[in-house]
Amino acid sequence: MNGEPATTGRQFVIEREHFDQLFELLARKGYRVVGPRIRDGAIVYDQVNSAADLPAGWTEEQEGGKYRLKRREDEALFGYAVGPHSWKKFLHPPNVRLWQAMRKEGSLEVQEEKQEVPKTAFIGARSCELHAIAVQDRVFMNGPYLDTSYRLRRDSVFIVAVNCGCAGGTCFCVSMNTGPKATSGFDLVLTEALEEGRHYFVAESGTETGAAVLAELSQRPAEDREIRSAEEVVARTAGQMGRTMDVSDIKGLLYANYEHPRWDNVAARCLTCGNCTSVCPTCFCTTVEDVTDLSGQKAERWQKWDSCFTMDFSYIHGGSVRSTPKARYRQWMTHKLATWIDQFGTSGCVGCGRCITWCPVAIDITEEVRAIRESDFRRTKRDRHGDTGTDSG
């Protein structure tokens, strides 16, 4: 079946026993292949050499502040939702050296870092994650200044997406209109199907590069029955969402509720640990650290992930602008769901649920939105005024 033209938009079937070819092929084409594997009791993204490295037969239980691996009854390779990692760590790494400087007798020589970026293939990106990548694309590549290092990484990526076969307990991509079916932003997309003893993937290419890869794999055109099965997998997942969020006029809602008492309530629980910002696939904030060597002649600047939950983040002369946990949580959530829309023309939330799962005190962004919406200041303001005198109308 090799050599059959695999054009964009047509669907093909790859049997499970041929799936290893994908890894071999990508490696042969010079890609570093990264994908899901189990480490330290979680499914993380790291180098994978073959399908054997994938978390076959594992899924996870996710709830607010809770994540636990669990055996599946089958040997699905992608039978989980999302773990603590996202692809952000490859496209927007936690530590990047920006430049090195040398001091020589009163002069200063600054050398821009030449970024070494390997061609990388992502195996198993979910729809919410593709949306997250698209969000970061807007942040780093659509403003007045381009993040050249991000651009370089972004241009070196081959993405194999997987339509979700199950939803996690904290997932709400359906509310955010970001899943569970991948519709764009991939080179190849797979739907994993397990039925009546069969285990196969329905595959479709999204780019010419993807089509070329697909053409080199052992595949055949999918039958209607198989396409229907794949569609059922996604439909089933869409019906399993652990969370929902009403996003109607969410920008207006949050802009009008900066002084809502709910912020005090959530601040009393929030530890300002910044876990949510680390696991969030769209959180992009960084700081820089300048380090000098012992001789004092050589310095380096490193760009590092930062979090709006730290005091330093908003520090100006005299102290932090956001000195209270309330202000910092409000900044994070209002940015994610409201000001982001004004900044980048899209929400900063893709409904992956990681911030809920990985919050040590189980703060739930969907619950916080619900609480604010239930007593929206715009609606309740009138009720807070007491009796009025007869002459004041």
Partner 1 sequence: MPSAHPMVPLPCSVRRIQRETHDTFSVELSPGHEFPFVAGQFNMLYWFGVGEVAISISGDPTKPGRLTHTIRSVGSVTQGLQKLKPGDVLGVRGPFGKGWPVETAAGGDLMFVAGGVGLAPLRPAIYYVLANRKRYGRVVLLYGARTPADILYKQELERWRARFDLQVHVTVDHGTGGWQGRVGVVTSLISKPDFDPGSTTVMICGPEVMMRFTEAELEKRELPPQNIYISVERNMKCALGLCGHCQFGPTFICKDGPVFPYESLRRFLAIREV
Q: How many residues bind partner 1 (CB under 8 A)?
A: 49
- Closest by alpha carbon to 126, among 164, 158, 87, 78? 164
Cα 26 from Cα 33, distance rounded (Å): 7
- Give how far the C-alpha of residue 224 lies from the chain's centroid of Cα atoms, to the nearest Å: 32
Stretch touching partner 1 by CB under 8 A, among 5-13, 71-79, 167-175, 319-327: 319-327
- Residues 124, 35: contact at Cβ < 8 Å? yes
| 331 is a contact residue toward partner 1 (CB under 8 A) | yes
Q: How far apart are the first and last CA of the chain?
A: 83
- Residues 278, 302: contact at Cβ < 8 Å? no
Length of the chain in residues, anyone?
Answer: 393
Stretch touching partner 1 by CB under 8 A, among 12-20, 51-59, 163-171, 317-325: 317-325
Classify residue 336 by its DSSP letter.
I
Instruction: Give the contacts of 235 (CB within 8 A, at least 6 positions apart).
Output: none
| 262 is a contact residue toward partner 1 (CB under 8 A) | no
| 109 is a contact residue toward partner 1 (CB under 8 A) | yes
DSSP 79-95: -S---S--THHHHS-SE
| 259 is a contact residue toward partner 1 (CB under 8 A) | yes
| 260 is a contact residue toward partner 1 (CB under 8 A) | no
| 115 is a contact residue toward partner 1 (CB under 8 A) | no
Could you tell me the smallest distance in angstroms from the CB atom of residue 236 to partner 1?
Answer: 38
| Closer Cβ to partner 1, 8 or 287, answer by number | 287
| 144 is a contact residue toward partner 1 (CB under 8 A) | yes
| Closer Cβ to partner 1, 9 or 318, answer by number | 318
Could you tell me the smallest distance in angstroms from the CB atom of residue 288 to partner 1?
Answer: 5
| Closer Cβ to partner 1, 119 or 151, answer by number | 151
- Closest by alpha carbon to 160, among 222, 92, 80, 78? 78
Rg (CA), the chain: 24
Site for partner 1, residues 294 to 313, rule: CB under 8 A: 296, 299, 303, 306, 308, 313
105's enclosing H/E stretch is: none
Could you tell me the smallest distance in angstroms from the CB atom of residue 173 to partner 1?
Answer: 24
Given the rule CB under 8 A, which residues bind partner 1? 98-99, 101, 103, 106-110, 112, 139-140, 143-145, 147-148, 258-259, 284-288, 290, 292, 296, 299, 303, 306, 308, 313-318, 321-324, 326-327, 331, 335, 338-339, 342-343
